[in-house]
Amino acid sequence: MTSLADLRVIDAATLFAGPSAAMMLGDFGADVIKIEHPRRGDPSRGHGASVNGVGLWWKTLSRNKRTAAVDLSREEGQEILRRLAEGSDVLIENFRPGTLERWNLAPDELMKLNPRLIVARMTGFGQTGPMARQPGFGTLAEAMSGFAAMTGQPDGPPTLPPLALADGIAGLAMSYAIMVAVHARERTGRGQVIDMAIIEPILGLLGPQMTAYKALGVVPRRTGNRSSSNAPRNTYRTRDGRWLAISTSAQPIAERVITLVGRPDLVEQPWFATGHGRVQHVDELDEAVGSWIAERDAAEVIARFEEVQAAVAPIYDVTDLAEDPQYAALGTFVELPDEELGSLTMQNVMFRLSHTPGEIRWPGRSLGRDTDEVLAELDYTGERIAALREAGVIA
């Protein structure tokens, strides 16, 4: 049994945030139907590394989804979406505000056909406001949220992440919002519209920056790998050239680390009793920890930290991930058969449920792989499907 086997989701979004939400629902059994343009496909097909022209990002992002290629700008394509919406639970879309309305697919019109439908709208800036109709991507959210301003070295420029961070956070938030709406529907019998702006969820992970600004006038500054809330917290290089990260967010951990590195005298200082106090003496603490680590190989440092139950981790790249025994024990990566590439390894579902576990049933499929099957379920005849394909409405 899978948790969401009774849920049908239409993924009419593109690139990362909306499709990520749909992927997470599909991981736990939802029947996700991915709608793409018949000739262009989802732009994520062309992102990142590829094998024989087949995008690997697409393979992960669109796993567990059936793919149907439908031109929603055409009247016949709009009719297909209406018929899909009649029998679906969720529609995820990220067109610019006003686009669905222009295509006669406005949420209120779709919900007349299916009052239980949940329409999840994912855009850069939301459905209202002066920027609503502007193109929005995760990069802009990382810039406008304050993330880039507080990321990077103190004497360096604002720094953007090397991945679709804001999109991923918004995808997680949208999957949560959808399940909240599904739960509410069980009580009310009615669907609703979700309006999510990619610029907002990332704000929630940046801490109380606005609260501190309004209360104290605090403007976050770049601290590199240090923390503005506790110390020592940094990356440190070992004698054999490895990089390690440590965290001392909990007071007992901070005490153990500083005692381990031979400076118990610092623990006795009044300022050491709080994270805020330790931050005021971060240079002294970093010097104590950094010099101790620099005199030892990584294996010894990790062993000594583990002996005193202090938090330490090696800085990994993907080659380390592939060999790590903890990830192997968790089953974090799985190898899957693939229709186009033979087999693929990708990260597994994000968490484990004891009774209704998730599963990757198949990687992302080729463009239009399931169009005929999906239309047949809507009672389109073979002749009608062939005519739509000849007219370029579907692929």
Cα separation, 21 vs 92, whole angstroms: 8
CA 142 to chain centre: 13
- Residue type at position 380: Y
Number of other residues whose CB lies within 10 A of the CB of residue 367 = 19
Cα separation, 105 vs 83, whole angstroms: 11
The DSSP bridge partners found for residue 237 are 243
Catalytic residue among 27, 71, 167, 338: 167
- Contact of 20 with 42, CB cutoff 8 Å: no
Phi, psi angles (nearest 5°) of residue 48: 75, -165
Bond prior to 232 in cis (omega within 30° of 0): yes
Cα separation, 380 vs 83, whole angstroms: 10
Number of other residues whose CB lies within 10 A of the CB of residue 214 = 10
Q: Which residues contact 185 (CB under 8 A, 6 or more apart)?
A: 116, 118, 191, 192
Kindly state the tokens that stand for 194: 């979700």
Whether 167 is a known active-site residue: answer: yes
Task: List the catalytic residues.
Answer: 167
